[in-house]
Amino acid sequence: MGECRMQKMLAFLSLMLVTLPPIYGWGTDGHSIICKIAQTRLSEEAADAVKQLLPKWAEDDLGSVCSWADQVKFRYRWSSPLHFINTPETCSYQYKRDCKDEDGEAGRCVAGAINNYTSQLLTYNSAADKAEYNLTESLLFLVHFMGDIHQPLHVGFASDKGGNTIDVHWYKTKQVLHHVWDTNIIETAEERFYNSNVDGMVDAIQQNITNEWADQVKRWETCSLNKTACPDIYASEGIKAACDWAYKGVKEVCT
Ligand SMILES: *[C@@H]1O[C@H](CO)[C@@H](O)[C@H](O)[C@H]1NC(C)=O
Ligand SMILES: *[C@@H]1O[C@H](CO)[C@@H](O)[C@H](O)[C@H]1NC(C)=O
Ligand SMILES: *[C@@H]1O[C@H](CO)[C@@H](O)[C@H](O)[C@H]1NC(C)=O
Ligand SMILES: *[C@@H]1O[C@H](CO)[C@@H](O)[C@H](O)[C@H]1NC(C)=O
Ligand SMILES: [Zn+2]
């Protein structure tokens, strides 16, 4: 085995042994876990609005529509830059510098999208409502992007496309680093610790929110500067977690 491959395996073994902090890595299960938990924590007013806005096929389950934004990425080509942020190989994030698409259009990144869809949803039940936006789509985008921005490698380096060009091993399978964080970590945890039962994992996280992490909850719920959403804070935490955890020990790309 080449030294390079060995290094990456070691990096991932040590990663696996670490107990994961709250919420990480978003394939379909990751997104659905986030939305299931979120739906139980809404105010009565917000819960009613969500119920009204959810499409019929969601059957009142926010978790079931949380990956809709990934499904429409190709139909709505314009939306694909809205799932992530690229930083210039640095472990910090700045809205002005980093929140743009490949053509340099400002605000076209996941932080800009969270601001965008939050302000659209704030018009719910107001005069501006109905006229301009499909608020069902605004809701489905928002709940998805709130998940994406918390996956460390969705705020990653432009040079490796958020870990998409870095090959690693996850146990016996070859994967790109980004996919490990989107999907593999969660699926392996489900299998190992929850008998492949997603609801068991949801329950365990909810119990932690009630107990272990109770003193952090106020901080998650409130946003400084009187804003309803604070994606810049999440993005800054994301790139820091990417450097401290996701990229750590992954030094070279072997092809
Ligand atoms: C804001 O939302 C509208 C409606 O979906 C969309 O056309 C536009 O591209 C979005 N812009 C950003 C930055 O999210
Ligand atoms: C709003 O968007 C949803 C999801 O794309 C779609 O099913 C629904 O028909 C749209 N509503 C209107 C009034 O266009
Ligand atoms: C719950 O919190 C404990 C203590 O921080 C941690 O060891 C455990 O992994 C957490 N469980 C989940 C499902 O996050
Ligand atoms: C926050 O909003 C309240 C009420 O709208 C206002 O009195 C206060 O000055 C605002 N604080 C900041 C930092 O903008
Ligand atoms: Zn996404």
User: Which tens digit of pLDDT belongs to each residue from 50-109?
Assistant: 999 999 999 999 999 999 999 999 999 999 999 999 999 999 999 999 999 999 999 999
How far is the centre of ligand 4, averaged over its atoms, from the C-alpha of 228 (Å)? 12
CB 198 within 8 A of CB 33: yes
d(CA 154, CA 163): 9
The architecture of the domain spanning 2-67+84-246 is Orthogonal Bundle (1.10)
d(CA 224, CA 187): 34
Pocket test for ligand 3, best of 201, 212, 215, 216 (most atoms within 8 A of CB): 212
Instruction: Indicate the pLDDT class of residue 9, thresholds 50, 70 and 90.
Output: very low
* 99, two tokens: 């929140």
Q: Please name the residue that has the structure tokens 């491959």.
A: 5
19 lines ligand 3 (CB under 6 A): yes
205 lines ligand 3 (CB under 6 A): yes
Domain ranges of the chain: 2-67+84-246
pLDDT digits (tens, 9 = 90+) for 238-253: 999 999 999 998 854 4
What is the length of the chain? Answer: 255
Q: Whose CA is nearest to atom 12 of ligand 2?
A: 134
Q: Whose CA is nearest to atom 4 of ligand 3?
A: 212
CA-based nearest residue to 35, from 76, 68, 57, 80: 68
pLDDT at residue 16, rounded to an integer: 43
Cross-strand pairs, 170: 173
pLDDT digits (tens, 9 = 90+) for 180-220: 999 999 999 999 999 999 999 999 999 999 999 999 999 88
How far is the centre of ligand 4, averaged over its atoms, from the C-alpha of 226 (Å)? 6
Instruction: Tell me the average pLDDT across 37-43.
Output: 96
89 lines ligand 3 (CB under 6 A): no
pTM: predicted TM-score of the whole model, two decimal places: 0.88
pLDDT at residue 251, rounded to an integer: 55
Residue 32 has pLDDT above 50, yes or no: yes
